[in-house]
Amino acid sequence: MRQDWEPEDLIEVWTLLEDDMKKVRNKSGATRLGFALLLKFFEVEARFPESAKEMPAAAVEYVAQQVKVPAGAWADYDWQGDRIKRHRKEIREAYGFRANAEEDQERLAEWLAAELCPLELSRDRLAAVVARCRNDHIEPPAPGQVGRLVGKAVKDFEAQFCRSRVERISHATRSRLEDLVAGSENATGEGADGDGSVSGGGHGPGVVRLCPASW
């Protein structure tokens, strides 16, 4: 979420409409302001802020004026209790979204590996994941979770890519490649007592593994 907002942008994005005001009508104080801010934040980002610091100060001031609650009350909003859980649930339902489940994260990782990794080698997939979740009306994972999903997707794609290439190689060719690799290892190490030995059975410098998985 960007932090700098011009007055015209605040009015366009952060103005509470009639339906929004109906949702905050039965709330008061910090609860009223906190709910209104989460509601508009979710409308913009299709997710909830990870902390109060992520909420733009200008938006806090502007929304506070609309709900007639002092902007300082935002600091008193409870981020840990059951109330914010109810607020998030209510806001998701208002926009037709649902919470992100473990199976959703597994499907996202599969989608990244199958659809994005073959086309785009960059590991920055946050925008794509958020867009995918928004399209599916699912609250996206937290940025830290997205990072783990991307890492898993890249690893899965590389393994799948390697297996698909190895499967195209004939058994005879595969055997010759294994002999070449073994020969390179022998050439770079002189045994357990030699100066060029590699501790723990590792590979000497210059040896390139063509595939992370075993042939």
Q: Which of 141, 143, 31 is nearest to 86 (CA)?
A: 31
The confidence score (pLDDT) of residue 172 equals 73
Q: Which contiguous run of DSSP H or E holds residue 35?
A: helix 29-45
Q: Give this prediction's pTM.
A: 0.59
pLDDT band at 157 (very low <50, low <70, confident <90, very high): low
pLDDT band at 170 (very low <50, low <70, confident <90, very high): confident
Give residue-wise pLDDT tens across range 52-104.
Answer: 999 999 999 999 999 999 999 999 999 989 999 999 999 999 999 988 777 87
Q: Which of 27, 58, 29 is nearest to 41 (CA)?
A: 58
DSSP 74-122: GGG--SSSHHHHHHHHHHHHHTT-BPPPHHHHHHHHHHIIIIITTT---
| pLDDT for 198 beyond 60 | no
